[in-house]
Amino acid sequence: MDLKPTLSSRISMHNIHSILYSAQGDEVRKQELYNLLYDKDDMVAYQAAWVMTHYSLHENEWLYDKQNELIDEAMSCKHTGKRRLILSLLFRQPMANPTRVDFLDFCLERMVSKREPVGIRSLCMKLAYELCRPTPELVQELKTILEIMDGELSPGIQAVRNNILKAMKKRISLQII
């Protein structure tokens, strides 16, 4: 199966499963799919990202070494759907330490932007929390931003915000004990 023609039109879950099956354990096939993430055709690039979001946890580990490239693409991507999918891929990975400050800034900026879709804002909030967790000062800064965000938030954003604030509170109470 040639991937580019398949990804250049609407695909179904059957297509996704076929692509995943063909890429299972095949480094060349995974690399081919990954390369299509950067294709100039937005449809092909979006569909490649969509397929990769269906990787199993084991298959997703293959993307860990590509974290910086994925971060760069998420920050420069103009296609909001593709950006959301790349952020989803990044959220399934352990964040590199030390934190990439440019990516943290990106996440902080996008999570408060009313121009961004709810999915991107939510993922940026979750990623910002993961990026801040190793540094107590950053956690406190994020907490302040989240508390300031209170107001006219969509139910999805409100739920993510509340869950992160609860996680922060729980983490602090565990540190006191």
What does the buried/exposed string (b/e) look like for 120-153 if buried means 16 or more CB atoms within 10 Å of the residue's CB? bbbbbbbbbbbbbbeeeebbeebbebbeebeeeb
Q: Are residues 84 and 153 in the same domain?
A: no
The candidate with the shortest Cα–Cα distance to 37, out of 21, 22, 25, 52, is: 52
- pLDDT score for 91: 97
How many domains does one find in the chain?
2
**How many whole angstroms separate alpha carbon 133 and alpha carbon 114?**
25
The CA distances from residue 136 to 28, 81, 108, 173, in Å, are 41, 32, 16, 13
Say whether both 86 and 18 belong to one domain.
Answer: yes
The residue range of the domain holding 3 is: 1-94
Out of 62, 77, 94, pick the residue that ends a domain: 94
104 and 88 inside one domain: no
Q: Give pLDDT, residue 177.
A: 46
Specify whether 154 is located in the same domain as 119: yes
| Per-residue tokens: 166 | 């609860």
Indicate the residue among 43, 67, 94 that finishes a domain.
94
**For the chain, which ranges sit under pLDDT 50?**
177
